[in-house]
Structure 1
Amino acid sequence: MNAPFRYEITDQVATLTLDHPATRNALGPEVRDALADAIRDIQRRSEVRAVVLTGASGHFCSGGDLRNIAGAGLDNQGWHGRMHGVHEWLRALIMLDRPVISAVDGAAFGAGFGLALAADYVIGTPRTRMCVSFLRVGLVPDFGLFYTLPRIVGPQRAKELMLSAREVGADEALRLGLLAELQPPDQLQARARAVAASFVNASPMAVSLVKRAVACGGDLTTQLELEANAQSLAMGSTGHRDAVQDFLAKRPARFQWPA
């Protein structure tokens, strides 16, 4: 039997693939542990400049493994500890100092929806279906959705999606900003890799500072101070100096977003 998760590094891009067709790539214990190990490994590898997060066999992730949940036999304290274990690596993924691209084909339901939104840039296909499905089984959203979803669609729409537990198709997901773009299914992986590969030549410091500034939030005064601190660091970086020299010498820019 094939492993339900694959972790590969090619040309400075790490690809994390959920691959358990029988459960539509549900987040069972083995997959969660493998994701946690991969994210910890990426944090240690400075040569990895971007991450692609995806699912195999026509689906991204159907959510939590309900059979495992039903058989866990945990009390309130046990579930609290288990959630904290997930949050340790989920926080690391959301705050990773390198860009994360989700390539979402088919279902991204429940925790799978939360996992998709942990990325910085989400690419879908016309077959993409998203759902905050937790209320269907008497639960509240997890996998960071209380943090990520309102920041993308606003509090009112986030509450509507959470409380209705309705399915969102690809076109609506694009309108709401849940998806950044749509690609044909047979081009999804290539496009995700192209977006990830474009960051190989970006300034690591600038990328990290952008992600941190956006994640922190705060009022105007706090954000302007954060902006000043971040820009002063970026101004002294090798990435900035090299980019200026390329510009003055009329050389092509090293960072090029893929067309």
Structure 2
Amino acid sequence: MSPSRQRTVFEVQDGVATLTLRNPDKRNAFDPIMRVEVAEVVRQVQADPAIRALVLTGADAHFCSGGDLGNIAASGLDNAGWRRRMTGLHDWLKDLMLLDKPVVAAVDGAAYGAGFSLALAADFIIASTRARFAMSFIRMGVVPDCAAFYTLPRVVGVQRARELMLSGREVGAEEALRLSIATELVAADALQDRARAIARAFVGASPVALSLIKRSLALAASDLPSLLEQEANAQALAMGTPEHREAVRCFLERRPVPFQWPRA
């Protein structure tokens, strides 16, 4: 960990990076320091070809309780100031969502407000059985942010997203699984191991194919002709990679292919 980091812990092992949010007095709430540190990590993960996947998690039995309300109240920002702050947040959040490497969110405890939105920015949410999610923005008289208007309807549908955003109610772990918010549920003491096992699996996958899949999915809400053009371009590139050729060889020789999803 860099000595300058105060709100996060960043580690890399065997091709998997782990970013842990750490603001223990406030259940890992976002503050300006954390935002800067997360942005730095996202840039580092993107730039390092040795990093093949990212695990995003929180310390001390919570993921992230949302924005630091004390900091928000003390900021004194006017409308223009808040717009500048949101624009800065969007810069790194977009980089995270468009990261060409898989992102696994390991969610324990609270994922409220911006914490819920941050989890939705990942490709997979592995949740503990005690995880709790809430689009709690309405309780504070604000609108959902951190791209929730984009991500949540794509996961649960527009009607359910409307209900969750307008009610601000809490979603428990079992309901999160039913709504496809969570990919899997595991016991709290198995959460980190399971999230890292999934992330490690991608070390054996084609980085080109992973990047192209994520880019194509980002266009899934666009018009069909654009999406089909992207699909054709992406498949043409993926078919020419050594990872694809090796996977075909393994299949034809009845050997395990390099990428295998870890069994639960």
Q: Which runs of 4+ in 1 moved over 6 A?
A: none
Taking only the aligned residue pairs, the percentage that are identical comes to 58
Matched, 1:35 2:38: yes
Following superposition, the deviation at residue 219 of structure 1 comes to 3.0
Q: Aligned match of 2:207 in 177, 198, 204?
A: 204
Q: Normalising to structure 2: TM-score of the pair?
A: 0.95
Query: Counterpart of 1:71 in 2: which secondary structure?
Result: helix
Query: Counterpart of 2:60 in 1: which secondary structure?
Result: coil
Name the counterpart of 1:250. 254
Query: Counterpart of 2:75 in 1: which secondary structure?
Result: coil
Matched, 1:158 2:124: no
Aligned residues: 259
CA distance in 2, matches of 1:228, 1:15: 33
Q: Aligned match of 2:149 in 146, 150, 154?
A: 146
Following superposition, the deviation at residue 221 of structure 1 comes to 2.8
Q: Which runs of 5+ in 1 are unaligned?
A: none
Name the amino acid aligned to 2:156. V
Matched, 1:223 2:227: yes
Question: 1:45-76 CA distances to partner (integer Å, 9 max, x unpaired)?
Answer: 01100000000111000000001000111111
Which shows bigger deviation, 3-12 or 107-116?
3-12
CA distance in 1, matches of 2:192, 2:246: 31
Following superposition, the deviation at residue 201 of structure 1 comes to 0.7
Name the amino acid aligned to 1:257. W
Name the amino acid aligned to 1:158. A
CA distance in 2, matches of 1:177, 1:251: 33
Q: Normalising to structure 1: TM-score of the pair?
A: 0.97
CA distance in 2, matches of 1:167, 1:249: 50
Q: Which runs of 5+ in 2 are unaligned?
A: none
Name the Cα RMSD after superposition.
Answer: 1.3
Following superposition, the deviation at residue 215 of structure 1 comes to 1.1
1:1-259 alignment, distance < 5 Å: 3-217=6-220, 218-259=222-263
Name the amino acid aligned to 1:35. V
Instruction: Answer whether contact 2:124 2:183 (CA < 8 A) is retained.
Output: yes
Following superposition, the deviation at residue 251 of structure 1 comes to 2.6
CA distance in 1, matches of 2:227, 2:45: 29
Instruction: Answer whether contact 2:109 2:132 (CA < 8 A) is retained.
Output: yes
Following superposition, the deviation at residue 85 of structure 1 comes to 0.4
Name the amino acid aligned to 1:235. M
Name the amino acid aligned to 2:66. G
Following superposition, the deviation at residue 249 of structure 1 comes to 3.2
